[in-house]
Amino acid sequence: MGKFVITKRKNGEFQFNLNAGNGQVILTSEGYVAKASCENGIESVRKNSQDDSKFDKKSSTNGKAYFNLKATNGQIIGSSQMYESEASRDNGIASVKNNAPDATVDDQTV
């Protein structure tokens, strides 16, 4: 089962990672000033991860594939790691869709 892990950055902002059942990070959020905003971001991932149209498939300048997950308003909620191939990226999207809805939350800022 997947897990959202909330941490605090050196600059004091909160962020979350969505980890797959094997512990691999599959999605990383932006930085949030307030913890409540970070928690809202997690709920947005749960909701939007089930809509294929919310995944924006990209290629970086070095040719690696990645994706962004967007909210209804078009804002990026989270970004993936860089993948060697489009097939690997697509597997990452499938993993987010599979893990996000029932993922537990591990708040490491407490």
CATH number at residue 38: 2.30.29.80
Contact yes or no for 76/66 (Cβ under 8 A)? no
Q: Give the domain range for residue 26.
A: 3-107
pTM to 2 decimal places: 0.94
Q: What would the pLDDT profile of 56-96 be if each residue is shown by its tens digit?
A: 999 999 999 999 999 999 999 999 999 999 999 999 999 99
Report the sign of the C-alpha dihedral through residues 49, 43, 67, 87, in that order.
Answer: negative
**What tokens were used for 87?**
């097939």
* Number of domains within the chain: 1
Rounded Cα distance, 102 and 24, in Å: 16
Q: Which two tokens stand for residue 25?
A: 């990070």
d(CA 76, CA 89): 17
> What's the first-to-final CA gap in the chain, in angstroms?
22
| Ramachandran class of 17: left when φ > 0, alpha when ψ lies in -120 to 50, beta otherwise | beta
Res 1: pLDDT? 87
User: CB of 77 within 8 A of CB of 41?
Assistant: yes
pLDDT band at 110 (very low <50, low <70, confident <90, very high): confident
